[in-house]
Structure 1
Amino acid sequence: MKSIKILFTLISAFIFFGCSQDENLTPDQAPVESQINSLFSFTDFTKNGVVDIAKNEDGSVNIIVELSQPASEHYEVKLYEGMLDADLEVQSILDLSPIESGNTISSTDVSNTYSYEELMSANIHLRVTQNNDHDVKSATDLGANAFKTSEIKTYPIIRNGDEVGTSAFIPRENGPMMVGVSLYYKDFEYGYEIDIYAGTALEGNNENVLIDLIDINERTSKSNSYTNLDEGYALPIDIEDGYLRIDRVPTHQGEEYYSKTDIGGNELTGRSISYDFDRPGSEDRINGWVKLEERVNGNTLFSYQMTGEVIPSSTYAVNLNDNNYILHGENVASLGKFPANFEGVTYADVKGLKDGSAISYDQIIEGTYSVRMNKSNDPDYNGKEVYAVSDIGQAALTDTMYEADITFTHPDFMNENMNVKIYKRLNGFTLLEVEGSDYTNDNIFHDLELYTGKDHESQSSSKVAYMISIDRYYHGYRETSPYEDPNNKEITFDEMMEQGGHYRLLDSDGEEIGYAVLPN
């Protein structure tokens, strides 16, 4: 029994003296103050741990590092002077407790070196390294340079549709933002020039450098770049109109650039809206879509594609026009050109109109506009010849529609047919669509009008609105946007439906040749 007591005493002494103050993994008192900082992977900038600077009740200070995943082998943990950047030659100023293979935590009492207040204002950063100071697994800024993790933005680096790297824009609480760029598949023989240029990735050029970033040199295995920006760019959104461009050097044959990435204000918010893009009356053969996407700065990325049986065989200009396509307002902005026989997607940036005024995504979708693919390659063309159209914003149609078939009553037209559809637009106005047999010639001129009541023979019915003319230009299909009553006053879709009960198809003498009762 005595020998067991001696053994217990020896084990207790070994535990007490074998664990130094610097390796105290579990402080025995709750901290009275604490600052937690995220650790970041030095390669792809993902969060992979935390650093907790804790002040205890007795005034002692601990730096506790906890990794998200166990160490694969022995990791060194050290403090370094200054802000985190690409300089791997910087000398460490304090060694902290290492993290052994299979473990995740390092806890070090630094009370003899720093007070809690000194750490909060210090110009230092922390690195977790494997093998040597150059093989950095995790890192973060501390003290005055602590990162503002809630404001971090990351952007994938895309090349030919594949993600080939990542970039991170990491603001600090009291200092300049850091930009990190990491390439997944760096070619040893090439260097990579990295800069931020003014404009968008779509329309910006390589002439107007906004911010110089540190390049990745050729003939080195290093695939990362770190740059601390000046104080004018404290947050990603402060880069209001810019894109990240990477050029491979020496230039690869036939390569204009390695990658371009919209950042900051040019990032897409995720808000978007799509519309049909087709030729009225030929929607089954000539059709496609138009899409609007909002950028963080409020500007708009347009895209469009023709997906129908027939693709334009000529290059046509595409424009944004004021008002719906039938009322055909002013050509207010160019959306680029649709290339002949092109089956892909065409893109265009819109942040202003031709008159120099700015226009936002919200202003477009809250306004009344149309997209027109003109039968001309002149971006200033605003004639009537169009290949495809799309009413967008408040000119777009709602789901409200009423349909009626004309019953022909005149003996000369008993074998004809005509279908009338009336649609409500988002702005409350009307689209009328007439489709049927092509029975007109130079001597036939009919008017379709809307009347009150349901009785097409009633003499007491009054005209609510003139709807459309069926004349020699009618070839079985026509659209219009009726918006005036008989007194030339504006009339909405709802007002037409409240007042109107039936259509009358009248000849040039005002005689009825057909009618249809509205189902509303």
Structure 2
Amino acid sequence: MKKFGILLFAFLGIVSCSDDDDANVDPPFEGETKKYDVSAVGESGVSGTAIFDENEDGSVTITLDLDGTTAGVMHPAHIHYNSAAEGGEIALSLDPVDGDTGISETTVDMLDDDQTEISFEDLLEFDGYINVHASADDLETLVAQTDIGGNELTGESKSYDLAEVDIEGVSGTATFHERKNGETLVELDLEGTTEGNTHPAHIHMGSVADAPGDIAITLTSVDGASGMSLTNVAMTDGTEEEDGTAVSYEDLIEYNGYINVHASADDLATLAAQGNIGANTIW
């Protein structure tokens, strides 16, 4: 009986030690994942997803998974600084997308400058966008694109009507899209514009009824062929004497202002379309 008690005590000791050892074992690594939709540029028909996976060693695996790529062609891809609406230099080169599979997979922990470390958390806030190009010989032609990091759109937006003024048939909408970083993508979408024309556009102070008001924010000119203009707005226009001031999405949707779209750079007096924004549309 005494011998049995000793054996039982020893067994319980082994179980106890095993439980303590298990308690000290770290749980398996489960990295986070972030997915962005990648949209076609123009009529390319190329679209899909960009997936960022956090790795245990601190690196990030970036996978592009695209439909509509061209068999036998490698499509160069990069992460650029700034938003797609602004454009910017290459921050990080990705492995080209294989046109046969539509796949690119790149594991990174450093930007192209070989000096700046980049983590999963850094990329979630990064001021950047992804470009996918037609080929190494045709980098000017983009087939797909998406904003990433702080430039990601939240899904919140506000649209305003732009009415015909001096040019018959030109009208449309201005849509303000909120970004994760609080900045705004301003999208102008007009009908009735003509190919070969470009139409300067601005946000002015005051309302249409009080026009003319000073220019507060210069927008990207509307392309006559597509009727489109995309502008990233983070600041009001500055002057020679004074810098502009920061302006957020929340500021813009309450702003005392209006938008003018002009006939051309040589004919700013002729208005193609116009509409109130922000506080001037609240009744």
TM-score by length of 2: 0.73
Change (3 A) 1:116 1:248: farther
Would you say 1:245 and 2:131 are equivalent positions?
yes
Q: 2:260 matched to which residue of 1?
A: 372
Aligned CA RMSD, in angstroms, stands at 3.6
Whether the aligned pair in 2 keeps the contact of 1:321 and 1:369 (CA below 8 Å) is yes
2:214 maps to 330
SS of structure 1 residue aligned to 2:35: strand
Displacement, 1:58?
Answer: 8.3
Structure 1 residue identity aligned to 2:265: N
Specify whether residues 57 and 181 from structure 1 end up closer, same or farther in structure 2 by C-alpha distance, changes over 3 A only: farther
Deviations 1:214-258 (A, max 9, x none): x1476986933031334543324321x200122343435x96123
In structure 2, distance between residues paired with 1:226 and 1:194? 10
Q: Deviations over 1:142-200 (max 9, x none)?
A: 43xx303xxx3211222247453321123468834432223345545222333210122
State the Cα distance separating 1:320 from its structure 2 match: 0.9
Measured in 1, the distance between the counterparts of 2:81 and 2:64 equals 18
For residues 415-438 of structure 1, what are the alpha-carbon distances to aligned partners after superposition, in whole Å with 9 as ceiling and x for unaligned? xxxxxxxxxxxxxxxxxxxxxxxx
- Is residue 150 of structure 2 the alignment partner of residue 260 of structure 1? no
With over 3 angstroms needed to count, the CA separation of the structure-2 counterparts of 1:244 and 1:363, relative to structure 1, is: same
Change in CA separation of 1:173 and 1:374 when aligned onto 2, cut-off 3 Å: same
Find the structure with the greater CA-based Rg.
1
Query: How far apart are the structure 1 equivalents of 2:102 and 2:18?
Result: 42
Three-state SS of the structure 1 residue aligned to 2:181 is: coil
Rate the CA distance shift 1:217–1:167 in 2: closer, same or farther, 3 A: closer
Give 1:246's aligned amino acid: V
Counterpart of 2:208 in 1: which secondary structure?
coil
Q: Which amino acid aligns with 2:253?
A: I
Hey, what's the Cα distance between the residues in 2 that align with 1:348 and 1:286?
A: 20
Partner AA of 2:159 in structure 1: S
SS in 1 for 2:265: coil
Identity of aligned residues (%): 23
Check if 1:319 corresponds to 2:213: no
SS at match of 2:142: coil
Change (3 A) 1:312 1:389: farther
Structure 1, gaps ≥5 residues long: 1-55, 61-113, 121-141, 399-520
> Who is 1:228 aligned against?
108
Match of 2:271 in 1: 386
**Native 8 Å contact 1:153 1:169 kept in 2:** yes
Q: Which structure has the highest strand share of the two?
A: 2
**C-alpha distance after superposition, 1:50-102 (max 9, x if no partner):** xxxxxx98848xxxxxxxxxxxxxxxxxxxxxxxxxxxxxxxxxxxxxxxxxx
Contact 1:168 1:179 in 2 (8 A): yes
Aligned length: 253
Report deviation, 1:263. 0.7
Q: What is residue 180 of structure 2 aligned with on the other side?
A: 296
- Report what 1:192 is aligned to: 75
Q: Calculate the TM-score normalised by the size of structure 1.
A: 0.42
RCO higher in structure (CA 8 A, sep ≥6):
2
What is the alpha-carbon distance in structure 1 between the residues aligned to residue 142 and residue 199 of structure 2?
A: 27
